[in-house]
Amino acid sequence: MALNQFTNLDFNDLRTQIKDYLRANSTFTDFDFEGSNFSILIDTLAYNSYITAYNTNMAVNESFIDSATLRENVVSLARNIGYVPRSKKSSVAKVSFSVDVSGINAKTIKLHKGIVAVGNVQNGSYMFSIPDDITANADVNGLVTFDNISLYEGTLLTKQFPVDSSQTDAKYILPNVNIDTSTIRVEVLNAAGINETYNKYENIFQVDKDSRLFLVQEIDDEKYQLLFGDGTLGKKAGSTKSVPSGHGSTIKASYIVTNGESGDGAANFVFSGKLTYMLGGGDTDITSGVSLLTTVQSSENGSDIESLDSIKYLAPRVYASQQRAVTANDYISLIPTLFGNVESVSAYGGEELDPPEYGKVYITIKPKNGEFISDVSKTAIKSGLKQYTVAGIKQEFIDLKYLYVEYNSTVSYDPGRAEASEGLASNIKASIEEYSKSSDINQFGGRLKYSKLLNIIDRVSDSVTSNITVLKMRRNMVPVYNAFASYELCYGNKFHADQEGFNIRSSSFKIEGVEGNIYLTDFPDDETGATGTIKFFTIVDEKPNYINNNAGIVDYIKGEVRLYPISISSTSLTNRIEIEVIPESNDIVAKQNLYIVLDTTANSKLTLLEDIITSGYNKSGVTYVPPSSFVSTTKYTR
């Protein structure tokens, strides 16, 4: 019998295909009516084919990292190419404190691993722990100082596993979720009664049969499994010369279970740890003499377990980088695996700069929490990158620069088909807000797509007939008050160069010795519109009064504004001067260390306009005045 190809997953189509096959075969008759017994068999065959096809399709989808939807399958596929998904990360704080032990004549103090302090954040209190014991010595005055110690948000737990050689496929699974794998510590008490410390596997180099290493891999339900060597590549857990199988040994694992980014922001800590000193061969508790905890660094960089989208994106790229940082894309792939609090990374070589700076790679990071990463985090990332980088290449961290995009949108609508205008405006703003959080924009190299923004507004409601949306770019200049300083603002996008000037506008500021509020603007040098001059002015009788005709220069092609040295005494806005420009193109790109923010605050404007032509109120359109598609040049200030 010839095979019939069933390619459709729809039940009714499958049923029809089976009937068509039977019609072409004269062996069976009286099947093509609903009341026949054969019709029930056809339904059964169609249903069976439908279920089989669906299951086959889902099974095949779960075999590829791009199409898999179940976390355990995505993690397993990533493991096949050597990628270990990032675990939940504890928020880390740095504190210092001292202990006065002059009354007990103690020489060395031990701060025991486990809970050390309780930290307060806006949404409650969190426990902060350390994964290892810390010891410190007393000075001549009997004062012990614990300086700049790292506290990890979460609770330290322990789990023990017996080693049984009769179990050929023994699995050592940590029973808790929300584990920060960087805090896992493993000790093995072997059959000879010797306690051995095993270190987390980093790379395969210099690993032999005696290397005491363990690996961590994620399994089902976001839990983790510990893996040990086989006696050839890494030492078997607890193995000795007399007991090579390790039978009778005990594996002891400790780890911190954390709340992730919820613990960020803790700045006030209360000590609740355990301090002891040696007396008579044993540990004796210290219950007094502990100073208040001084916060060196508030808790930061907590993060949730790596998402499926992140695993799918990073796993093949980290594999392509082969655990080395050579190209810019290698840095973009590796840094999120070293530092959990990363939303986006930009990396580019110094040869791309003007003038070029060879031998350097410039890195900018947008954190998930906060606007900038701290100096402590920069140092930690630099240290983590050392084992991957090429000798002679220097990494330079540059703080990201926010490029704000403001919109002024006039939306025409048919009042006969619309809900209340307030509701329509609210829905439009919500749609723009959603687009502002999309992957189009929220990444380095992101692009605000003008046509997509217009389409999003048009599709909010059937009552929307059209929209005229004008965009402006803005950078915030942070002044150095009462000191001469020059300033440079890079927008990374070409400016529009209207010969009448006022393509650039600012909020007001003051200069010592000049009365009134001062503003800045531009005037092109010639008709080519390549460069221009920055001028300062005040407003007198609603007209600009120029007080400095050569305050700086503007490069319209590169999208750069440079101000000559100036001493600013105050600003109308807190710690900033807002400088807006008109872009030449409404498709705005975030280049190098620029990061686009579609401003959905009051700086942007939405106006609803009744479409009197569509509504039938004025079919001839005589009284209809469409809104302008251009930024007004009669407005002098921001």
Same domain, 483 and 544: yes
**Closest C-alpha to 486, from 565, 560, 553:** 565
Q: How many other C-beta atoms can be found within 10 angstroms of the C-beta atom of residue 592? A: 18
- Say if residues 146 and 96 touch (Cβ distance below 8 Å): yes
Residue 270 phi, psi (nearest 5) = -115, 125
* Per-residue model confidence (pLDDT) at position 29: 62
Same domain, 419 and 530: yes
* Per-residue model confidence (pLDDT) at position 1: 41
Distance separating alpha carbons of residues 597 and 443, to the nearest angstrom = 10
Q: Which positions ≥6 away from 598 have C-beta within 8 Å?
A: 405, 407, 432, 435, 436, 441, 448
* Per-residue model confidence (pLDDT) at position 420: 64
Reading the block at residue 61, the tokens are 């989808």
- Say if residues 520 and 534 touch (Cβ distance below 8 Å): yes
| CATH of residue 380 | 3.30.300.200
Distance separating alpha carbons of residues 128 and 130, to the nearest angstrom = 7
Sign of CA dihedral 323, 329, 332, 333: negative
Last residue of a domain, one of 381, 399, 417: 399
Same domain, 519 and 619: yes
Q: What is the model's pTM?
A: 0.68
Same domain, 448 and 570: yes
Distance separating alpha carbons of residues 143 and 136, to the nearest angstrom = 10
- Give, as one character, the DSSP assignment of residue 629: S
Reading the block at residue 559, the tokens are 């999208």
- Say if residues 109 and 276 touch (Cβ distance below 8 Å): yes
- Containing domain of residue 214, as a range? 156-257
Q: Total structural domains in the chain?
A: 5
Reading the block at residue 455, the tokens are 């389409």
**146 pairs with which residues across the strands?**
97
Gyration radius (Cα) of the chain, Å: 33
Q: What's the CA dihedral at 511, 514, 515, 517 to 10 degrees?
A: -40
Same domain, 355 and 207: no
**215 pairs with which residues across the strands?**
227
Same domain, 365 and 495: no
Distance separating alpha carbons of residues 248 and 190, to the nearest angstrom = 7
Last residue of a domain, one of 353, 374, 399: 399
**How high is the mean pLDDT in each 10-residue block of the chain (638 residues)?**
56 76 67 68 80 83 90 91 89 93 87 94 90 92 92 95 82 93 92 87 76 91 91 84 81 94 90 88 86 92 88 86 81 81 83 82 83 81 82 83 92 78 86 88 87 92 90 93 92 91 92 90 90 93 91 94 93 93 92 88 89 70 75 76
Residue the block writes with tokens 């999003």: 456
Residue 82 included in any domain: no
